[in-house]
Structure 1
Amino acid sequence: MKLTTPFFERTPFFFDQNRFREKLATEKPIATFKDAMNAANIQFDVRFKEGEDIRTLIYERAHFIDLILHYAWHQFTWQTGVCLMAVGGYGRGELHPASDIDLLLLLDNDDARANLDAIEGFFTFLWDIGLEIGHSVRSLKQCVEIAKDDITVATNIMESRTLIGDDQLRDQLMNATAPDKIWTPDAFFRAKWEEQQERHNKHSDSSSNLEPNVKNAPGGLRDIQTISWVAKRYFNVRTIKQLEGRGFFTEGEYAILMTGEEFLWRVRYGLHMLAKRGEERLLFDHQRALATLFGYKDTPERLAIEQFMHRYYRIVQTLQELNDVLLQFLSEAILPNGQEQQLEPINARFQLRNSFIEVAYTKVFLEDPSALLEIFVLMGRDKRILGVRASTIRLIRESRQLIDDGFRADPRNTALFMELMRSPYSLVRQLKRMKRYGVLGRYLPEFDRITGQMQHDLFHIYTVDEHTLRVMKNMRKFRLPEAQEKFPVAAHIMNRLAKPELLYIAGLYHDIAKGRGGDHSMLGKVDAEDFCVRHGLTGRETRLVVWLVEMHLLMSAVSQKQDISDPEVIHKFALLVGDQLRLDYLYLLTVADINGTNPDLWNTWRASLMRQLYLETKRALRRGLENPIDRQELIVETQQAAIRKLEDKNLSEKRVRQIWGGMGEDYFLRESHLDIAWHTEAISCHRSDEPLILIRQSRFNGMEGATQIFVRTKDRNNVFAASANALSGLNLDIQDARIYSSPDGFTIDTFFVLDENGEPTKYDRFDAIRRALHDELALVDQYPDIIQRRTPRVLKHFTMPSRTRLSNDLVTGNTILEVISPDRPGLLAAIGRVFLRFGIQLQNAKIATLGERVEDIFFISDANGLPLSDPKLCEDLQDSICKALDDIVSQKN
Structure 2
Amino acid sequence: MSAEQPLSQSAVDTEALQAMLSQAGNDIGAYRQYLSDLQEELRQRFYDEQPVSELVALRSARIDALLRCIWDQFEWGDDIALVAVGGYGRGELHPYSDIDLLILTASDEHSYQDNIERLITLLWDINLDIGHSVRSIEECRQAAIDDITIVTNLMESRTLAGNPALHQQLMAKVGPDKIWPSAEFFRAKWDEQIRRHRKFANTEYNLEPNIKSSPGGLRDIQMIGWVVKRHFGAQSIDELRDRHFLSQEELDTIKDGQDFLWRLRFALHLIAGREEDRLLFDHQRTLARQFGFEDDDNKLAVERFMQKYYRWVQQLGALNDVLMQHFDETILRACEAETILDINPRFRIRNGHIEVTNDKVFEKTPSALMEIFVLMAHMEAIDGVRASTIRLIRNSRHLIDDEFRADPRNKNYFLRLLQAPSRVALNLRRMKRFGVLAKFIPAFGKIVGQMQHDLFHIYSVDAHTLELIKNISRFRYPDMVKVYPMACRIMQRVPKPELLFLAGLFHDIGKGRGGDHSTLGAVDAREFCEYLGLPKRDTNLVAWLVEKHLEMSSVAQRKDIQDPDVIRDFALTVGDQQHLDYLFCLTIADINATNPSLWTSWRASLMRQLYAETRRALRRGLENPVDKQEWIAETQMAAIERLEDYGFTETEIRETWAETGEDYFIREQVDDIVWHCRAIAQRTRPGDSVVLVKEGGLLDHEGATQIFVHTRGRVGLFALLAAALEQLDLNVQDARIYNSGTGYTLDTFYVLDANGESIGDNQDRINQIVAYLKEQLADPNNSAELISRRTPRQMRLFSTPTRTSMATDLNKGHTVLEVITPDRPGLLARIAQIFNKYRVRILNAKIATLGERVEDVFFLSDENNRPIEDPQLCEDIQRAICRELDEQASKSPQ
1:99 to 69, 72, 97: 97
2:387 is the counterpart of 1:390: yes
The answer on whether the counterparts of 2:808 and 2:867 sit within 8 Å (CA) in structure 1 is yes
CA distance in 1, matches of 2:422, 2:151: 40
Of 818-827 and 243-252, the range deviating more from structure 2: 243-252
1:276 to 244, 248, 273: 273
CA distance in 1, matches of 2:700, 2:179: 59
CA distance in 2, matches of 1:75, 1:184: 40
Partner residue in 2 for 1:659: 656
CA distance in 1, matches of 2:16, 2:675: 80
1:110 to 94, 98, 108: 108
Partner residue in 2 for 1:528: 525
User: Deviation string for 1:559-599 (max 9, x for gaps)?
Assistant: 00000011111111101111000000000000000000000
2:61 to 41, 63, 69: 63
2:442 is the counterpart of 1:448: no
Partner residue in 1 for 2:195: 198
Matches within 5 A, 1:348-747: 348-688=345-685, 689-701=687-699, 704-747=702-745
The answer on whether the counterparts of 2:18 and 2:66 sit within 8 Å (CA) in structure 1 is no
1:84 to 82, 85, 94: 82
Q: CA RMSD in A?
A: 1.8
Partner residue in 1 for 2:793: 793
User: Deviation string for 1:420-460 (max 9, x for gaps)?
Assistant: 11122311111111111111100000100100101111111
For residue 136 of structure 1, give the secondary structure of its aligned residue in structure 2. strand
Distance 1:485 1:12, change over 3 A: farther
The answer on whether the counterparts of 1:221 and 1:261 sit within 8 Å (CA) in structure 2 is yes
CA distance in 2, matches of 1:716, 1:703: 28
Q: Tell me the amino acid that sits aligned with residue 821 of structure 1.
A: T
CA distance in 1, matches of 2:659, 2:553: 34
Partner residue in 2 for 1:3: none
For residue 85 of structure 1, give the secondary structure of its aligned residue in structure 2. strand
CA distance in 2, matches of 1:306, 1:773: 45
User: Deviation string for 1:197-228 (max 9, x for gaps)?
Assistant: 11111111110121111111111111111111
CA distance in 1, matches of 2:57, 2:9: 14
CA distance in 1, matches of 2:796, 2:780: 31
The answer on whether the counterparts of 1:571 and 1:628 sit within 8 Å (CA) in structure 2 is yes
User: Deviation string for 1:703-735 (max 9, x for gaps)?
Assistant: 832111112222111111111112223332111
Q: Tell me the amino acid that sits aligned with residue 100 of structure 1.
A: D
Partner residue in 1 for 2:4: none
The answer on whether the counterparts of 1:717 and 1:781 sit within 8 Å (CA) in structure 2 is no
Q: Across the two proteins, how many residue pairs are aligned to each other?
A: 884
CA distance in 1, matches of 2:712, 2:33: 70
The answer on whether the counterparts of 1:798 and 1:852 sit within 8 Å (CA) in structure 2 is yes
CA distance in 1, matches of 2:710, 2:273: 54
Of 62-71 and 645-654, the range deviating more from structure 2: 645-654
Q: Tell me the amino acid that sits aligned with residue 818 of structure 2.
A: E
1:45 to 43, 46, 50: 43
Q: Tell me the amino acid that sits aligned with residue 828 of structure 2.
A: L
2:33 to 35, 38, 45: 35
For residue 106 of structure 1, give the secondary structure of its aligned residue in structure 2. strand
Q: Tell me the amino acid that sits aligned with residue 426 of structure 1.
A: R
CA distance in 2, matches of 1:510, 1:72: 63
Matches within 5 A, 1:42-441: 42-112=40-110, 114-441=111-438
Of 607-616 and 673-682, the range deviating more from structure 2: 673-682
How much has 1:20 moved relative to structure 2? 3.6
Report percent identity of matched pairs: 52
Partner residue in 1 for 2:873: 873
How much has 1:785 moved relative to structure 2? 5.7
Matches within 5 A, 1:800-879: 800-879=800-879
The answer on whether the counterparts of 2:545 and 2:583 sit within 8 Å (CA) in structure 1 is yes
Q: Tell me the amino acid that sits aligned with residue 810 of structure 1.
A: L
Q: Tell me the amino acid that sits aligned with residue 825 of structure 2.
A: P
Q: Tell me the amino acid that sits aligned with residue 104 of structure 2.
A: L
Q: Tell me the amino acid that sits aligned with residue 307 of structure 2.
A: H
With normalisation by structure 2, the TM-score equals: 0.96
Distance 1:327 1:669, change over 3 A: same
The answer on whether the counterparts of 1:76 and 1:121 sit within 8 Å (CA) in structure 2 is no
2:22 is the counterpart of 1:21: yes
For residue 112 of structure 2, give the secondary structure of its aligned residue in structure 1. helix
How much has 1:643 moved relative to structure 2? 2.3
Partner residue in 2 for 1:11: 12
Distance 1:469 1:172, change over 3 A: same
Of 456-465 and 30-39, the range deviating more from structure 2: 30-39
Gaps of 5+ in 1: 1-5
CA distance in 1, matches of 2:812, 2:737: 14
Q: Tell me the amino acid that sits aligned with residue 36 of structure 1.
A: Y
How much has 1:858 moved relative to structure 2? 0.4
CA distance in 2, matches of 1:705, 1:315: 42
How much has 1:418 moved relative to structure 2? 0.4
CA distance in 1, matches of 2:177, 2:142: 15
CA distance in 1, matches of 2:746, 2:789: 27
The answer on whether the counterparts of 2:724 and 2:785 sit within 8 Å (CA) in structure 1 is no
How much has 1:241 moved relative to structure 2? 3.1
CA distance in 1, matches of 2:405, 2:195: 38
Partner residue in 1 for 2:3: none
CA distance in 2, matches of 1:766, 1:230: 58
CA distance in 2, matches of 1:635, 1:438: 59
CA distance in 2, matches of 1:11, 1:405: 54
Q: Tell me the amino acid that sits aligned with residue 160 of structure 1.
A: S
CA distance in 2, matches of 1:691, 1:67: 78
The answer on whether the counterparts of 1:12 and 1:64 sit within 8 Å (CA) in structure 2 is no
CA distance in 2, matches of 1:690, 1:92: 76
CA distance in 2, matches of 1:640, 1:46: 81
For residue 315 of structure 1, give the secondary structure of its aligned residue in structure 2. helix
User: Deviation string for 1:371-405 (max 9, x for gaps)?
Assistant: 00111111111122121112111111111111011
CA distance in 2, matches of 1:606, 1:740: 24
How much has 1:882 moved relative to structure 2? 0.9
Partner residue in 1 for 2:755: 757
The answer on whether the counterparts of 2:720 and 2:785 sit within 8 Å (CA) in structure 1 is no
Q: Tell me the amino acid that sits aligned with residue 721 of structure 2.
A: S
User: Deviation string for 1:254-301 (max 9, x for gaps)?
Assistant: 110011001111111122222222222111010001111112111122
Of 729-738 and 87-96, the range deviating more from structure 2: 729-738
The answer on whether the counterparts of 1:140 and 1:173 sit within 8 Å (CA) in structure 2 is yes
For residue 134 of structure 1, give the secondary structure of its aligned residue in structure 2. strand
CA distance in 2, matches of 1:641, 1:482: 39
For residue 393 of structure 1, give the secondary structure of its aligned residue in structure 2. helix
Q: Tell me the amino acid that sits aligned with residue 398 of structure 2.
A: Q
Distance 1:7 1:559, change over 3 A: closer
For residue 702 of structure 2, give the secondary structure of its aligned residue in structure 1. strand
For residue 610 of structure 1, give the secondary structure of its aligned residue in structure 2. helix
How much has 1:690 moved relative to structure 2? 4.4
